[in-house]
Amino acid sequence: MTVLEDIIAGVREDLEARRAGIDDAAIRSRALAAPPARDAFAALGGTADGTGRDTVLRVVSEVKRKSPSKGALADIPAPADLAREYRDGGASVISVLTEERRFGGSLADFDAVRAAVDLPLLRKDFTVEPFQVWEARAHGADLVLLIVAALDDGPLRELLGLARELGMEALVETHTEDEVDRAVSAGARIIGVNVRNLKTLDVDRSNFARLAGRIPPSAVVIAESGVRDADDVAEYAAHGADAILVGEALVRDNAPADALRRFIAAGTAARPPRRA
């Protein structure tokens, strides 16, 4: 069993436990009654045809306590306070881990952040069932994560379609050429290239440069994982990243807002003219 398969097995068990406490009709009612989702595509610099974008690098800043590859990262006793620091540092979107077993997250963390900031929020979890999309919207999420390696084409399209029906977007995560092509075929508008292989947890930063050019200019391209410092950010930006998703480097920094500003400045300076 790969690391990804093991994580998803746990996610399904935890999902069934949550569903025992609230039925589908109730969670759908809460989702439909939630305030409208914020426009994460626009917040990340997206435009309808990919033209006319500015050159500012966007950052998706992550509330992340631990990871399968690094173990404990930070205690984060007050996720809302960290989220406010991210907002003040210039984050465009905030990602909140809600997977508990391997990442130490929870929907309670998500709720705390939602109450604290008005930025678009990504519910960062391993989405494999429609219930999780309804659940995300019920808690005020503006994006959900869809990992192509974890989903066949049918479920990928179904979950992406449901997210959009509910006014949200999806960050569709890829790691190989085939996964990028599947994401594009499914109609993804926000595509992440994760340089960490979730099946083995190995990191290859060159993977971003290899794959980013396969993504059409109409999509927002996000570089995920592997950010250690501003030089890494600049390298991703130089190879076509519209945004980066970073957690570890920020939660381990004693001044995350300042680190964010450095990342944005470095990435913006390195970005080439918008792809045509």
Report d(CA 217, CA 259) in Å as an integer: 28
Q: Which helix (H) or strand (E) holds 124?
A: strand 121-124
Residue 213: burial class (beta carbons within 10 Å; 0-12, 13-18, 19+): exposed
194 is catalytic: yes
Q: Which of 196, 197, 203, 273 is nearest to 240 (CA)?
A: 273
DSSP 8-state symbol, 234 = H
DSSP-derived secondary structure letter, 150? G
Query: Which one of 62, 85, 135, 179 is the catalytic residue?
Result: 62
Active-site hit among 61, 67, 92, 194: 194
Using N-to-C axis directions, what is the helix angle for 256-270 and 79-89, rounded to 10°?
40
State both tokens at 120. 């678009």
Query: Is 62 tagged catalytic?
Result: yes
Q: What is the DSSP string of 42-101?
A: HHTT--SSS-S---PPEEEEEE-SEETTTEE----S-HHHHHHHHHHHT-SEEEEE---T
- CA-nearest of 72, 96, 102 to 4 is 102
Of the candidates 276, 212, 219, the one whose C-alpha atom is nearest the C-alpha of residue 238 is 212
Q: Which residue has the tokens 């929870």?
A: 106
Exposed/middle/buried for residue 130 (C-beta within 10 Å: 0-12, 13-18, 19+): middle
Catalytic residue (choose from 66, 92, 124, 169): 124
**Catalytic residue from among 135, 173, 179, 248:** 173
Q: Which of 61, 67, 207, 225 is catalytic?
A: 225
70 in active site: no
Q: Which of 99, 224, 235, 248 is catalytic?
A: 224
- Does residue 64 carry a catalytic annotation? yes
Dihedral of CA 53/267/84/227: which sign? positive
Q: Does 235 qualify as catalytic in the annotation? A: no
| Active centre residues (catalytic) | 62, 64, 124, 173, 194, 224-225
